Structure 1
């Protein structure tokens, strides 16, 4: 058996997985072929299921499938190869000894493992897994070694679809550690993935890797077709349901971001058992909340927070669950602008400090803003290479100075506030340069308050409408259809006398936000009606 049709699953091998989830369809993972040397049909079928799950990063499901294949055929080299990639996200995951331990089950030395491979292709795959699992150093070294090993296999078998697919995955994994070559490698990986997608648009890896390769505002349109297809290719995997939202976010398609992350969270929840990893619940919840907040759904945002609290209760001590919950609470404050004061402590995360600093500034507690800035500055000093912390520090400090300048200018009808105003603008300019020196945006806004958006708001408050227009328009290029940037841009254009563009932006905002109780919606409707 060499083919994995979309609806074929061995019930005897996956009964336990399927019965864990009564509300999610775990029978569809895509269509592809991956012939191997095993003579055991059940082992091959389990292996093929594992490959499908692996292409969609359904690691728990993939691991169980590959282990089932090993039970059927203990010397099945490719079953151990597959298991080696199920212990962490191949692009971003932390170092783990699991991959090496998986290979050691096959045999304790490279020579003994190679002796069990039945042909050159399988030996090539095995060497690539060893590079990924056993290369000295950290994950950067292992991912680059994996890419180089897969390149050798690809050069020998350039027409083999699965060789091409996993070479593509290795390129995407190594790109993040390749400095100035990162985007070039992403584009090359994307070109290979597009070739696969053109030949088989139901291949889970093809669509998945197209999305990863083109996940930025400039290239996302290339991946829209794959994103729309992928959401239906592998609904058995939570990550596959989530991944299209990478491209939907880049297009400002907020309904789709909300819908597909809800679906992804439900799949992850249905599959989860105590002791399992909860990354898929955290990730889909994080992005789902962001999508719902863009739609103005406060109730849905609060639901996502409640779910995150439940995940943390069920997984006490899990650092990612804790971090996700902190981020979601801070994002809720910032996006809804329901400013609130909390106690300043050393336990607050950078996201929480940003929310506290912005809240204190908007509520007029400038002394608390200063103390919050001191704490952020301490964190930034401890991590001088962390650009995100430096941007957050600049954001809160700039808003403080803007508030101080406003007070000075209002108090005495003098120009005493102008130097402080200039300091605020200088800080924003530096932070913008720092943000633009990094990667283009992908995913939910980072930092939680986009720097171009905040700079636009401060410039508009200062009366610099033309400068605000440029900043908000840049924000919309980087974060399309983001409502707070649409609102700010509409206000700035109106202030600058550009009523046609303001009307266009207010009208666009009304396609996203519909609640008449929201003052932004009433403001937009009034402007459009007058226009």
Structure 2
């Protein structure tokens, strides 16, 4: 078996590019470096390698183009169909649609037995056997766990094979998603494998990508910071590769990078889009980019993200897509418009009381209820609380939002014990969930709102604790820092207040916000008092 290995860079042969229908040269500037020998040779193998490298960055359409090109050159190339079967679904969602992957495999052969005869080596048979399980007829959880177990067997048989290692790591993450296992045991295993591969090949797109996914939570995020710095440079041709590092940057409160990486990801999504494509990459970048700019205090840019998303929906901009996938993408974009607006209201504190209807989503009801509470409209607060009660099934984030608005209503009615009791119940619910991995959920973080409520109730000691917990879960979030500064100031701890206010001033430097003015005034007063005491 001839070993094919290549660094996948912008220096691609024009002749090679020309045989890919509809390809765009910018798609293939850089996609990383992999070492994946197969029984194929020549251009079919080159297309296969590019396809796998892009697949590692979740560039679904771009990867499929490459696998199709490999199939055209070598119709019996089993691994090209294996790769295509993995290029239709996000592998970390709870369920995956097996329809298109099964069709891809059926083009190789009508039955698993027939398909297996076209995989000439034990290693390739192992890869094919694994996806036969993944796209089989069993329950989706059973299929995902079975796929992981098949990849584990292959990994144990070929422990030094980098591609087996990468796909085994990803299968562990997929099994975690399917089983909703919150223990992190499979994630830690996946991260250990991915980190080892990343250290061996710092240009491997899957190694960096799966390291990020493995450690995508506030506690373990520092383990993935080097991979996050590297990933966007490894595969800049893929929009998701530019976005994905922000999963770790957001855990560190690195708001400039959250904004910048998603701006870059959005640009690539625009560049690569063609009629009929789904809108997922663009929506994801718009969503996370807006959150980053809200934390930076750049409300004008945050509004721009919303305008861009609105244009995609209202004017069918570059996000138009056909068929069921297209309809799902547009529906996702429409839902995101509402989410971004609710988040904008909450994080800017530009309060806006919207009508409460039976179609109002939970995050919109939370923003409306909070706006009404802050502007003294208790009737709307009660309406929002009732609507959230209708949506709640007794657990989860909607249940938490219901208690948040209920607490605000009771606090305004002069029932502080009821208000804090509701917030305690909401806190207990939140702490049973996985730590936040992206933008705030709910859009008004539970501990941040609890701290603000405690300040309103003249309990700054307890408020400090809530704001500190909020910042442990979402580092460097300016509204939590501002609340922490106010709580320390109310406690008479000027030094700790100044420390928190300084962080707010640094994050919002140059912004015309009341919170920034408050921080600067406190810091100036503290400095003057310090000079006066000398």
Q: TM-score range by the shorter chain?
A: over 0.9
In 2, the alpha carbon distance for the partners of 1:287 and 1:353 equals 21
Deviation at 1:141, TM superposition (A): 2.9
1:104 has 2:113 as partner = no
**Cross-structure match for 2:324:** none
In 2, the alpha carbon distance for the partners of 1:195 and 1:518 equals 45
Answer yes or no: is the 8 Å Cα contact 1:250–1:479 preserved in 2. yes
Which of these residues, 431, 441, 455, is aligned with residue 426 of structure 2?
A: 431
Deviation at 1:181, TM superposition (A): 5.9
Answer yes or no: is the 8 Å Cα contact 1:168–1:209 preserved in 2. yes
Gaps of 5+ in 1: 406-419
- Match of 1:125, SS state, is helix
In 2, the alpha carbon distance for the partners of 1:181 and 1:468 equals 29
Answer yes or no: is the 8 Å Cα contact 1:56–1:234 preserved in 2. yes
Check 1:14–1:248 CA distance in 2 against 1; reply closer, same or farther (3 A cut): same
**Cross-structure match for 1:170:** 171
1:395 has 2:398 as partner = no
In 2, the alpha carbon distance for the partners of 1:42 and 1:371 equals 64
**Cross-structure match for 2:530:** none
Check 1:95–1:521 CA distance in 2 against 1; reply closer, same or farther (3 A cut): same
Deviation at 1:125, TM superposition (A): 0.4
Answer yes or no: is the 8 Å Cα contact 2:94–2:178 preserved in 1. no
1:4 has 2:6 as partner = yes
Answer yes or no: is the 8 Å Cα contact 1:510–1:524 preserved in 2. yes
| RMSD, aligned CA | 1.7
Deviation at 1:346, TM superposition (A): 1.7
Structure 1 segment 36-435 matched on structure 2, within 5 A: 36-39=38-41, 41-92=42-93, 94-96=95-97, 97-138=99-140, 140-180=141-181, 182-313=183-314, 314=316, 315=320, 317=327, 318-380=330-392, 383-384=393-394, 386-405=395-414, 420-435=415-430
Deviations along 1:322-352, one digit per CA (max 9) or x if unpaired, are 1111111111111111111222212221111
- Match of 2:433, SS state, is coil
Check 1:15–1:523 CA distance in 2 against 1; reply closer, same or farther (3 A cut): farther
Output the TM-score relative to the length of structure 2: 0.93
- Match of 2:218, SS state, is coil
User: After the TM superposition, which of the residue ranges 303-312 and 187-196 deviates more from structure 2?
Assistant: 303-312
**Cross-structure match for 1:511:** 506
Check 1:366–1:339 CA distance in 2 against 1; reply closer, same or farther (3 A cut): same
**Cross-structure match for 2:485:** 490
Check 1:516–1:257 CA distance in 2 against 1; reply closer, same or farther (3 A cut): closer
In 2, the alpha carbon distance for the partners of 1:6 and 1:509 equals 43
Check 1:322–1:16 CA distance in 2 against 1; reply closer, same or farther (3 A cut): farther
Answer yes or no: is the 8 Å Cα contact 1:483–1:509 preserved in 2. yes
In 1, the alpha carbon distance for the partners of 2:335 and 2:53 equals 30
In 1, the alpha carbon distance for the partners of 2:181 and 2:110 equals 38
Answer yes or no: is the 8 Å Cα contact 1:20–1:271 preserved in 2. no
- Match of 1:5, SS state, is strand
**Cross-structure match for 1:452:** 447
In 1, the alpha carbon distance for the partners of 2:387 and 2:229 equals 43
Answer yes or no: is the 8 Å Cα contact 1:21–1:270 preserved in 2. no
Which of these residues, 502, 508, 523, is aligned with residue 518 of structure 2?
A: 523
Answer yes or no: is the 8 Å Cα contact 1:4–1:49 preserved in 2. no
In 2, the alpha carbon distance for the partners of 1:20 and 1:102 equals 20
- Match of 1:177, SS state, is helix
In 1, the alpha carbon distance for the partners of 2:18 and 2:263 equals 25
In 2, the alpha carbon distance for the partners of 1:154 and 1:285 equals 37
Check 1:79–1:472 CA distance in 2 against 1; reply closer, same or farther (3 A cut): same
- Match of 1:31, SS state, is strand
Gaps of 5+ in 2: 322-326, 527-534
Deviations along 1:455-508, one digit per CA (max 9) or x if unpaired, are 000001100000000000010111000000000000001111221111111111
Output the TM-score relative to the length of structure 1: 0.93
In 1, the alpha carbon distance for the partners of 2:122 and 2:487 equals 64
In 1, the alpha carbon distance for the partners of 2:24 and 2:102 equals 31
In 2, the alpha carbon distance for the partners of 1:231 and 1:208 equals 10
Answer yes or no: is the 8 Å Cα contact 2:258–2:288 preserved in 1. yes
- Match of 1:370, SS state, is helix
